[in-house]
Every structure is written in C-alpha cells, then in structure tokens.
Chains A and B, each alone.
Chain A
Amino acid sequence: MWIDFLRRAFMQAIPLLFGSTGEIITEKSGNLNLGIPGVMYAGGIGGVIGAFLYEQNAASINPFLAILIPLLCSLALSLLMGLIYCFLTVTLNANQNVTGLVLTTFGVGIGNFFGGSLVKLVGSDVPSINLNATSNYFRATLPFADKLGWFGQLFLSYSFLAYLAIVIAIVMAVILKKTRVGLHLRAVGENPATADAAGIKVEKYKYLSTCAGSMIAGLGGLYYVMDYANGVWSNDGFGDRGWLAIALVIFAMWKPNFAIAGSILFGGLYIIHNYIPNLDVSGQELFKMVPYVVTILFLIFTSIGKSREAQPPASLGLSYFREER
C-alpha cells in the first residue's frame, strides 16, 4: 500500500511539477502568469486534438508519430497561450493579474469547447473522449521495470513524460543558478531597469522565458490526459491542479529543484484522502484542503522570516517600460 501511495503521489506530482517549473521560470522574468491553469488546460486539449486527428485519419498507427503529433499540438497551443500573455503584458503593458486570469478563463474555455466538439463528433454516449491507443504509447514504461520488485515499481515504472518533468526541473535549476543566461533572467525579474542598463534585452528575456514556461506547463496538461487519465478527456477533469502548481511555486521558493520534492509532497497531500480508511465525504473534502493550508502556513513562515532569498522576484507582477520622461 505504501508503494502504491508513493507511486500515485508521484504521478499526481508530475502535472504539478511541469506547471510549477514553467511558472517559476516565467516568474523569474518578472511575469506573474496566473494563466497557468488555462495554459495547462490548453496543453491538455492540444494533445487530445492532435491524438484524435491522428487516430481518426491514420491507416495504421505509427508509435513514433502517435507521440510526436499530440506532443507538438500540445506545445503549439501552450506556446500560443504564452505568446498571448506576452503580447498583452510585455508589448502592450497590460496588467499582469488581469491578463493571467483572463488567460485561465480562456484556456479552460477553449479546452471545454474543443472537448465538447470532439465528444459530439464521435457521438459518444458519455461526455468524454477515449484515446486509448495514443495513451498506451504515452504510458509505455521500461520493459524491465516490473522485474525489479519494489525498486522498479517505485522508480522505474513511469512514462517518459514523468522523467522529462524531473529532467526539465533540474536543467532549469542549473540554468538559473549556474549560467549567464540564468543570471540575466534573474536580473530581469529582480530589476528590469538595471538589466536594461546593463545591456540585457529585457523584452526578449520576458518573451522567451514566459513562452518556454508556458510550453513546459502545457506538458503538464498533456501528461495528465495521456498518462494519468489513461487518454480519457472529460471537460473540467483537470481540476484545480493549475492553481496548485502556482501555489507550489511559492512553496518551492522559486527554485525548480525544490519544486521536485514539493510537487511530490503536494501530490501526496492531494490524494491522501483516498488512503485514509473510514473517511466520509466531508472528511475527504477537508483533506483536499491540506495543500492550500500548507501553502498559506508556508507563506506566513517565509513572511515572518527575514530571508531575502525566499522572496519572490522583486519586480514580479510589474510591467517594465523604459522611462521617456
């Protein structure tokens, strides 16, 4: 049971990890993208559309294409969301909070629109689409994982997207901390005027990190449909994972490597109500609150503490434009 719990916790963690890694590098550029839930939702439906079109139109399914097409569709749609956000907030200097919330509504809207349309197209009885064939390829694991007992179960029994999430988080952590690009990105988020005076192209960094962040977050949506939900898309099935990913950013103190552990913790808290015996519905609902309560408590502690390192980027949420008097 423990192994099962940890496994499920880890699988819960992956969409959160994608989402919060994406949001961390976005926020490091000073952009507070509250549209992440919408972006992840769009990333999910992007994958569904790609997979649906391929499954419907291909004579025989090529495993490679079955993964590549949904992947590209998912990335393209979340990139588009990132571009919308950047165009509004960076180019037009729109308010970041408003833009982000609009993007969330928009992302969920297009997700449900296309989701509903696809359901209608197949004429299914239940309000969901089943992309089992594609999902099988996405869920492929290492062949020898089953033979290694609990070790294989706990560490090797996941799909490639799960490992990709960890790799991306680690790579991003290294980039932020150890490279010149990371230094410049952090400077943009901390003090764009300083970065600008130092010759760093602020807009470029904001666009690149926000769009890359959106694409990473979108993969969280893709993982959710194709792996976690076994290829079954149903409208609003993604739940509040997007918001949890944003909460996780605070919990991870804007460090992608901390987000790995944090996401597993949050993933565990998210499903723990299933593993506590004799819990009635109201008890379950209370337990579902735990991740948010943890975040609030954490916020209180980091705010009381004096650590400058646990604080958000200084110019987070603010538009930057060169002053022309």
Chain B
Amino acid sequence: MDNAHKGGVPALQLQNISKRFGEVLANDHVSMSVDHGEIMSILGENGSGKTTLMNMIAGIYFPDSGKIFADGNEVVIRSPKDAFKYRIGMIHQHFKLVDVFTATENIILGLEDNGKYNVKQCEERVKEIAGQYGFEIDPSRKIYEMSVSEKQTVEIIKVLYRGADILILDEPTAVLTPQEIEKLFAVLRRMRDDGKAIIIITHKLNEVMSLSDRVTVLCKGKYVGTVKTSETDEAKLTEMMVGKKISLDIERTEPKNVVPRLNVKDLSLCSHEGTEILKGISFTANAGEILGIAGIAGSGQRELLESIAGLLKAEGRIDFMSPGSKKTESLIGKTPRQIRNLGVKFSFVPEDRIGMGLVGNMDIVDNVMLRSYNNGSSLFLNRKEPRSMTDRLISELEIATPSPKTLVRRLSGGNVQKVLVGREIAADPTVLMVAYPVRGLDINSSFAIYHLLNQQKKNGVAVIFVGEDLDVLLALSDRIMVISSGKVTGIVDARTSTKEQIGLLMTGNAHEKEDSSHGAK
C-alpha cells in the first residue's frame, strides 16, 4: 500500500477531544493516535466513552472541542461521508444493514459513483476484496439469510469497498463463536500487514492481549493512557480500566444439597412458519447448581427459556420437582399464571430487558410492582410495599438512580439489569432463568450480577444461565449445556472443559472433534 508508513506520521490522531451529552461528559479531553500497519485496542468499561469517541471519528457525532488529524492534516468530520473521504470506516456493533437487500446492494449503498449503476460490476469488486483478505461471502445473498458472522463480513467489506485505510470495529467479537473470532482476527492481522490502521473497541482483555499492538485505556470518559501490549498484562490493564485493583476470578462455590428440580425431556418447538426451533431437548436442572447454556446466538436459547416459562407452547415434558413435598408437577402446556398458581416459583430475566422484562416508560417502583400486580383486592394500587422494596434494591444492589421514581429507560444498561435481576430474585424463586445477564455491562456491574447468581445458588435455587462469554460460562457454571440449532450437542462439566471443546460443540461439530483437533496440529 502506498500510504503505509508515511514517514512515521500517524494515520489518525486525536487531540483533546471532548463531547458532552446533556449533563454527561462522555469524552473529556481524550487524545490518542494510531499508525498505519497497527492494531490499536480501545479498552474501557461500558460508559467509558469508547463508542462515543469512535463515533466522532466516523462522523456520527461531532466533537464539542478538540482536533482530529488524518495523515498529519487537520480534518473536520461532520458526516459518515466526510469520514470516508479521509478513508475512515467504522463497523458498528449493531450492524447497519438493510435486511431485504443483497450483500452487494448493502455494500454500495450511499455511494454516488460517477458512471452507471451496475450491480454485476460491483459484485465483481466485492469478490475481489473478499479474495484479497480471505473473506468468505456470496455477494448476491440477501442479508436476512445470513448468519451474524456473515453480516459482519458484509459490514467490513462495506468499508473496505469505500477504500477505508483506517478501520474502526466496535465490539466485533461480542456475537461470534471462538472459531469465528479466530477467523476475524486472522483477517484483521492480514489487513494490518497490508498497512491499514485498525482500531478495535473491546472490553475483553484476552482479545486485547492476543490481537493488538497497543492499547489505549479510557475510564469514565477520561484518557488514562496508552501502553504497548507487549509491555503489559491483564491485571495491569484492568487496574487502568477500573482505577483500582480487582480480582478477575469469578468465584465458584461448591454446590451443596444438589437435587433435581426441573426435568426437561424431548422438548420440541416449531415456529409458526413451520421451522423447527427446538429439537428434542432433554436436560435436568438441579437445585443448588448453576447450569450454563452456551450456543451461537439464535440457536434456540431464548425459545428454550420461554418454553419453560410457559410463554411458548412447546411439546415434550417439563417436570418440576417441588422442594418441600416429593410432588412432581407437569408444566407442559401451562400458561405462566397456571404455573404460578401451582406454587412453582419461576423467575425469568429475559435477554430483552426493556421490552420483555421491564417497561421503559414506567418508573422503578411501578416496574417492581409488575411482578405482584395480582396481589391485593383493593381497587386502588398499594405502592407502599413496592416502594420499600425498591428502596431496598437500590441500596443493596447499588443501583445508580436519581430517585426510585426515575423512568427505567433513563437508567444506564447496568442499572436497568440490576433492577430486573433484583426484582426477579426478590420474588424468592426456586428456579431462576437468566439470559445474557451481563450483556452490555461493565466489569463491576457484571461481577455484581455473578455474585447475585452465586448467592441464589447457595440458597438452593436452580439457576439456568444463558451466556455468550465462554470464559464466564466456564468460570461460573457447574455444568454447561451446549445447544446448536435447537439441538443439545453436549452437556459438560464446566470444571474440566475447555473453551475450544465448547466452541466445537457450539458449531455442532461434536462428532468431528477428533478430526479437527488433528487437523489443527
């Protein structure tokens, strides 16, 4: 590449960038730079201003103050178009793709090339780029037919097609399997060797260590420092990131009094379009144990939990062994209310927090009340009890909110999750199902949630934990059930399994495990 290593001038340099949203100072005099042929990680907790900073480079936001230099020249970036002009391209965490368009149509969207609109020609160019960096893509496939990783490929090619030399990736690995992550990293390394400057936003330390050349750490909107990856380690980075030393080890207590609580047998579910979502799932969830569920996003995790909770009508058997008596209740085909009337205490923290779990436009007290709407016989609502429970949740879980009367949608992601998990746990469940409880949460909030789950486990609750971060799943759960396109591909002991094993099970390659491990050698 001709513009690689232009005499040591950084590809991109930020000087004293500040950005304020209302009362929140999202970025406070942040400076950083990235060179051609370098992979730079931006590390920071949620709400530390990583994405805001990158959005200012990509032209989504405009900085309140500060300067941006591209190849040594000061530039003003007011729109994504301006960003492309300076060869900057950003791959957003939430893909910006049109579902009913083909890959190519998405890639050329918004381009005002002179010359004719010729899809064939564009497809050729897409193939060419894909070949250059080793992507696998079918340019004429529609987005809605694609997997998450394929969609990400489209996003990356989209910015490359526009001639980007500086690529910004916002949490690109959050939705990928370990194998897909390796593939992505290989592509990114190839791009780096090709002279491109790559900025990757992440909060996963192991990825920072394995991929990047340098790391810039942000904390609460402030620039903490930039270090060479080779001269640091995970503990030091965490300290920079959080401002204090914290233990990165998730505690796992030994399960006590393990008894079967929930027995699921041959659970199957068809979508109303007729496709099979769950195919004969069987497992047992034990009291006093955390059962982790791993799988690629959309493999049926959500549907599994919703079927158990009675929200979806599945076929098969779901048997509940009540803790006190030796009675076994069949839950299949029952509505959530019928299940509750049986005395079965399910708590469910869905992945869709605001929407399915909470009502964004209601305050915390009212949301807490949603769990007990059926209690009491008075015509009017009794807000006293929920109010005191809300106060208790706020102080116990350290929920950062101006008041209990604050609308839930105004809270940050971590605090929303604490409200939801807190409410569900306060219901004193016998089975607790949580889906992606730490998605989008920072390290401190995540650990607070892990701690809550462990407490429930100690109290003899059967915890079912659907997670995406395999490191966390392995560290927190007692057993892990892996599902792949609606089928159980394995239930393993979390203490003795490795990430690679689970990754293979996730892609449904259980039987080829032996072969591929040979192949890797």
A interface residues with partner B (beta carbon < 8 Å): 178-180, 183-184, 186-187, 190-191, 193-200, 306, 308-309, 311, 314, 324-325
Contact = CB atoms under 8 A, between A and B. Distances in A.
B117 interface: yes
Given A187-B101, A199-B81, A200-B109, A194 B96 contact: yes
A191 B144 contact: no
B99 interface: yes
A308 B144 contact: yes
Contact of A179 (B21, B81, B117): B117
B355 interface: no
A197 B60 contact: yes
B80 A197 contact: yes
Interface residues of B, number: 26
A306 B81 CA distance: 36
Nearest to B60: A197
Contacts of B81: 199
B101 A190 contact: yes
B163 to A, nearest CB: 14
B96 A180 contact: no
B273 interface: yes
B273 A183 contact: no
A193 B109 CA distance: 12
A191 B96 CA distance: 8
12 contacts: A178-B117, A180-B111, A184-B110, A190-B101, A193-B96, A194-B98, A194-B109, A195-B98, A197-B92, A199-B81, A308-B99, A314-B100
Contact of B109 (A178, A184, A311): A184
A199 B79 contact: yes
Interface of B: 21-22, 24, 60, 79-81, 84, 92, 96-101, 105-106, 108-112, 117, 142, 144, 273
Contacts of B101: 183, 186-187, 190
B76 to A, nearest CB: 16
A316 to B, nearest CB: 12
Contacts of B21: 324-325
A187 B98 contact: yes
A195 B142 contact: no
A88 B60 CA distance: 25
Contacts of B273: 306
A191 B142 contact: no
B84 A325 contact: no
Given A199-B80, A308-B144, A194 B117 contact: no
A308 B96 contact: no
Contacts of A187: 98, 101, 109-110
Given A199-B79, A325-B21, A183 B99 contact: no
Centre residue among A191, A198, A325 by max chain B CB count within 10 A: A198
A190 B79 contact: no
B109 A190 contact: no
B96 A183 contact: no
Contacts of B79: 199
Contacts of A184: 109-110
A191 B142 CA distance: 15
Given A180-B112, A184-B110, A197-B60, A190 B98 contact: yes
A28 to B, nearest CB: 12
A183 B105 contact: yes
Given A183-B105, A308-B144, A199 B84 contact: yes
A198 B108 CA distance: 9
Given A197-B92, A199-B84, A186 B98 contact: yes
Contacts of B22: 325
A183 B144 contact: no
A311 B98 CA distance: 14
Centre residue among A179, A191, A200, A324 by max chain B CB count within 10 A: A191
